[in-house]
Structure 1
Amino acid sequence: MTSLRFVERLRDLVGGVDVVLSDIWGVVHNGLESFPEACAALHTFRKQGGTVILITNAPRPADSVQRQLRKLGVADETYDAIVSSGDLTRHFVSDHPGQKIFWVGPERDSSIHRGLDATLVPLEQADYIICTGLFDDEVETAEDYREMLLKARERKLTLVCANPDIVVERGDRLIYCAGAIAELYRELGGEVIFYGKPHRPIYERAMALAAERRGRPAELSRVLAIGDSVRTDLAGAHGFGIDLLFITRGIHSEQFEGIEQLDPASVKELFGHPPRALMRELKW
């Protein structure tokens, strides 16, 4: 295993790349504002013939994610398509018609049920659980849901996690996501189905959309993922067989502060399977 250095520019990495699969939160924006240089980098890659698919663990349909991106100043020309874990969760609901759902999550995620024949009921009447997040992620943690999860386990309910992220940035803070609740439920012995990174279906869907845009499939050796999470972005890219550009300014920023190069031991400790390169912020 070799040392890892920081690179300054995306253009130094994409000479043999046809498709970029980019994370959104932590790479393109931080929940409150977009990163203009990151958006410009993806847009420039597209102008030079590349295809950009945004892959996100957002527990909302792609059109809702697009509306949020527009509000944050991310132009549609930045990317070719969006794949969200919310879309994959909606497919699960569609495949289980007539079943009743106990929904755990904030009201802002209600679009995950839009247009579906979904009956929302209390936990005691549910056939399964959909978790899009915490009811109030400003103050709550997964531990606030322990009692509820124990009741769900007693009823042997499956929990469908629409966002496998444990935490995400909101400005300069880290807040808990649906993944934190799902992992606690799994620790308690409950059955969990995860949609989103690092799980394979979201990558398969992204590659299918890339093939549609390009008119032909892309070889995995010519695909580069971009992300800021070891647990989701790096593990997902490695499991799917593609390289990853790791952005360090995201949820792991404190671990990389003041570091210019990682020796092999540090690479193994931090990543396990090393990314292709490190970059502090995405730039062209």
Structure 2
Amino acid sequence: MNGTCLSAQSSKLNELNIQTLNGIQQQLVKLVNSSGKLASYGAKWAIISNSSRRASTTLEKLKSLGCDTSLFLGVITSGELTHQYLLRLPILHLRRDDEWFASLGRSCIHLTWSVKGAISLEGLGLEVVENVQEADFILAHGTDALGLSSGDSLQMNLDDLEKIPEQCASKKIPMVVANPDYVTIEPGNLRAMPGTLAATYEKLGGEVKWMGKPHKQIIYKSATEMAAAVDASDCINVGDSLHHDIKGANAAGIASLFITSCGVHATELELSKFGEAADNNSVRALALKYAAYPTHVLGVPFFYVVN
């Protein structure tokens, strides 16, 4: 699970702080629970994640890992925002508030998960179709299954799944990507995420609505509202992903702290141990590669090591 953690301004801590969470579970619990050191200064926290799942699911996941969820205000996920923006209740004759989403229609090609568990579309008033010609839009939650009209999902490898957006591009229907991440860290490897499919779809000329980091219009706005946040100039965004956390900070006008060890760029930086420092020249080269420029760089979050 990738994510970030946002804290609001306090009288003693004049910053917003965003904390990286990754799939290395043995470090994640200590990382989240150590944020209490900043909470003791009056900082208020909200977890921000590019997870395609609902916020409540992510919160329960954190609890199951042993994280103290009383340390933050709540959870914002790109999956939760996708659900809320798609939500409409035909029985009550309510329409989606957002003009772009209101124009989508209700028939969708659903790219979802199989092994990790399919994403439920219950309550959204959507019709899942398998024929591209019947679809009004593509909804991308996962990268290893195609949602079926029966409510089940058909497991597919990534190469085969990528052929579906290619077919959709010729019809020029839009895509909503519920998880903009390109990859996530799993034991022993990196797994391709929906952002990879979305990036390919854009290259094919398709229109994509990105629901999470680094796109500030939706997820950062929601995070700062939850935290009753101050101006962007009083914020610092901390994360391990240059193309999401740091580029998102750049777009939002927020200072940033790039965490290098055990993050998504650890291999590129030739780092193999938690807490290991990256070479400055390597960080500069990587920042240029992704056009994402951190204000500060550390091996681990500063509050992780404070006594």
Instruction: Verify same fold: TM over 0.5.
Output: yes
Trace 1:82-161 onto structure 2 (pairs within 5 A).
Answer: 82-94=75-87, 95=96, 96=102, 99-107=106-114, 108=116, 110-111=118-119, 113-124=121-132, 125-135=134-144, 140-141=157-158, 143-161=159-177
Contact map agreement 1:162 1:196 (CA 8 A) in 2:
yes
Percent identity for Structure 1 against Structure 2: 24
- Secondary structure at the aligned position of 1:74 is classed as coil
Distance 1:117 1:152 in 2: 21
Corresponding residue of 2:16: 19
Quick one: which amino acid aligns to residue 169 of structure 1? I
State the shift of 1:279 in Å.
2.2
Distance 2:137 2:258 in 1: 35
Count of aligned pairs: 261
Q: Is the 8 A contact 2:54 2:80 kept in 1?
A: yes
Alignment match, 1:182: 198
Q: 1:112 to 1:239 in 2, by over 3 A?
A: farther
Counterpart position of 1:6: none
Shift of 1:36: 3.3
1:71 lines up with 2:64 in the alignment = yes
Give the counterpart of 2:53 among 60, 70, 75.
Answer: 60
3-state SS of 1:35 partner = helix
TM-score (structure 2 length as normaliser) = 0.76
Corresponding residue for 1:252? 265
2:214/2:249 contact within 8 Å kept: yes
Q: Which amino acid aligns with 2:110?
A: W
Instruction: Return 5+ residue gaps in structure 1 as ranges.
Output: 1-13, 212-216
Judge conservation of contact 2:48–2:75 (CA < 8 Å) in 1.
yes
Distance 2:143 2:127 in 1: 20
Q: CA-to-partner distance for each residue in 1:236-269, whole Å, 9 max, x for gaps?
A: 0111011122111211012332755414954753
AA partner of residue 154 (structure 1): S
Tell me, yes or no, if the aligned pair for 1:22 and 1:53 is still in contact at 8 Å. no
Identify the structure with bigger relative contact order (alpha carbons < 8 Å, sequence gap 6+).
1
Q: Tell me which residue corresponds to 1:210.
A: 227
CA–CA separation in structure 2 for the residues paired with 1:78 and 1:34: 17
Shift of 1:280: 1.9
Q: Which has the larger helix fraction?
A: 1
Are the counterparts in 1 of residues 108 and 128 from structure 2 also a CA contact under 8 Å? yes
Contact 1:83 1:205 (8 Å CA) reproduced: yes
Answer yes or no: is the 8 Å Cα contact 2:20–2:259 preserved in 1: no
Deviations 1:117-155 (A, max 9, x none): 22222233221110011126x9833x3334212221122
Measure, in 2, the Cα distance between the counterparts of 1:122 and 1:202. Answer: 30
TM-score normalized with structure 1 length: 0.81
Give the 3-state SS of the residue equivalent to 1:160 in structure 2. Answer: strand
Deviation at 1:270? 5.3
Please name the residue that 1:219 is paired with: 231
Tell me if the contact between 2:49 and 2:78 (Cα under 8 Å) persists in the aligned partners. yes
Whichever residue aligns with residue 75 of structure 1, its letter is: D
**Cα RMSD (Å) of the superposition?**
2.8
Secondary structure in structure 2 of the residue aligned to 1:55? strand
SS of structure 1 residue aligned to 2:39: helix
